[in-house]
Amino acid sequence: MARVMIGRRTLLAGAAVALAGRAEAQAWPNRPIKLIAPFAPGGGSDFTSRLVAEKLTARLGQTMLVENKPGAGGNLGAEAAIKSPPDGYTYLTISGSYAINSILHKPSFDSLNDIVAIGQFTEEPSVLCVGAAVPVKTLGELVALCKREPGKLSYGSSGPGGLVHLATEFFLDAAGIKATHVPYRGTAPALADLLAGNLEMLSGGTTTMLPYIKSGKLRGLAISTTKRLAAAPDIPSYTEQGYPTVNFGLWHGMIGPKDIPDAIVSKLNAELDAVLKSPEVSGRLAEDGVITVGGSSQAFMDTIRAEVERWQAFIKRTGIKLE
C-alpha cells in the first residue's frame, strides 16, 4: 500500500511540474527579450539577427531587442548571454566561429554543456575567390599554381583563429598546398585589399562576395555547397571538384543559457521555425544565396556538437594556434 501511495505521489508531482511548465510557457513572454549579437553592427551576422528579431517580435507580441556586444573573438557577448539567468529572456546569436572560439580562445564557459540550442537560422555558403589579376580560372589551376610556387600566393582572413582563417587552412590542407596567411581586423579590409590586387585569395560568404563576382571584379572558384547554388550557378562546388570534406558554410543560429524551461524552448523554437519558413524571410535571404534552415532544438545542438568535434580534430592534427 505504501508503495502505491509513493507511486501516486510521484505521478502527481510529475504532473504538477508539467502543468507548471505549460503555465510558464503560456505566460511567456510578458516583457521584452534580449538577443545578444557578439559582432559589430552592420555586418551580415547583425543583419540576420535583426531580421529574425523583427519577425519574432511580431509573432511573440513582445519586443526582441538586439544588443551588439563584440569583443574577445565573440566570447564577450557569449559569456554575457550564457551566464545570464535561464528565465527565457536572454539569448545569443552564434555563428560557425562559436565552435572554433571554444577551442582556441578558452572561454570561461562550457560551449556545449552550459547552453541550450533554440534553432538554426541560416546556412550561408562560402565562396573562395581570387582577384581578377590572378592567372587562374579554376580551382584546379589554383592548386597547380600553389604547388609550383608554395607559399607565394597570399590569402586574407577576418582575423587569426577565425572561421575564415581555419576554413581556408582546411581547404589548403585537403589540397596539399601552402599559401601565406594575412590576417585583417575584419572581412572588409581584407576584401578591399583583394580588390586592390594586394592579396590573391579570400574566402567569404555569398552575401559579401557574389556582387563582386557578378561584376567581374573577382573570380569565384568554388562554393561550399554539395551542389551548385541557384544564386550562383556558374560557380562549381568544392565537392564536384574533388574536395567533398570542404562542405561548411557561415551558419547562424540562436542559443540560450542551460536550464531555460523546456516549454519555453519548445515555444520559441516553433515560432522561430515559422519565421524561417515564411516566404518573406526565406525569399529575402535566398536573393543573397543564404539558405534558411530551422528545424528542432536538438538538430541544431547536433550541428554545434559536430562543428566543435570537426574543429577540435583539425586543430589538434595541424597544430594551428592563434598568431
CA-based nearest residue to 289, from 217, 232, 213: 232
**Would you state the pLDDT for residue 15?**
46
Q: What stretch of H or E contains 33?
A: strand 33-37
pLDDT in tens, 126-137: 999 999 999 999
pLDDT in tens, 49-87: 999 999 999 999 999 999 999 887 788 999 999 999 999
Would you state the cell numbers that stand for residue 212, as one nine-digit string? 563582386
**Would you state the pLDDT for residue 149?**
96
Beta bridge partners of 91: 35
Give me the phi and psi of 170, to 5 degrees please. Answer: -60, -45
Output the pTM of the full model: 0.84
**Would you state the pLDDT for residue 159?**
84
CA-based nearest residue to 126, from 156, 153, 88, 164: 164
Give me the phi and psi of 133, to 5 degrees please. Answer: -85, -10
**Would you state the pLDDT for residue 102?**
82
**Would you state the pLDDT for residue 257?**
98
CA-based nearest residue to 127, from 206, 193, 190, 183: 206
**CB atoms closer than 10 angstroms to residue 283:** 10
**Would you state the pLDDT for residue 228?**
87
Question: Could you tell me which CATH number the domain at 126-241 has?
Answer: 3.40.190.10
Low-confidence ranges of the chain (pLDDT < 70): 1-25, 322-323
Q: Read out DSSP for 157-212? A: ESSTTSHHHHHHHHHHHHHT---EEEE-SSHHHHHHHHHHTS-SEEEEEHHHHHHH
Contacts of residue 231, defined as CB under 8 A and 6 or more positions apart, other chains included, come to: 206, 210, 286, 287, 288, 289
Architecture of domain 2-124+251-318: 3-Layer(aba) Sandwich (3.40)
The full set of domain ranges for the chain reads 2-124+251-318, 126-241
Distance between CA atoms of 215 and 94, rounded to whole angstroms?
31
**Would you state the pLDDT for residue 16?**
45
Contact of 121 with 253, CB cutoff 8 Å: yes
Strands 33-37 and 64-68: parallel
Distance between CA atoms of 98 and 221, rounded to whole angstroms?
26
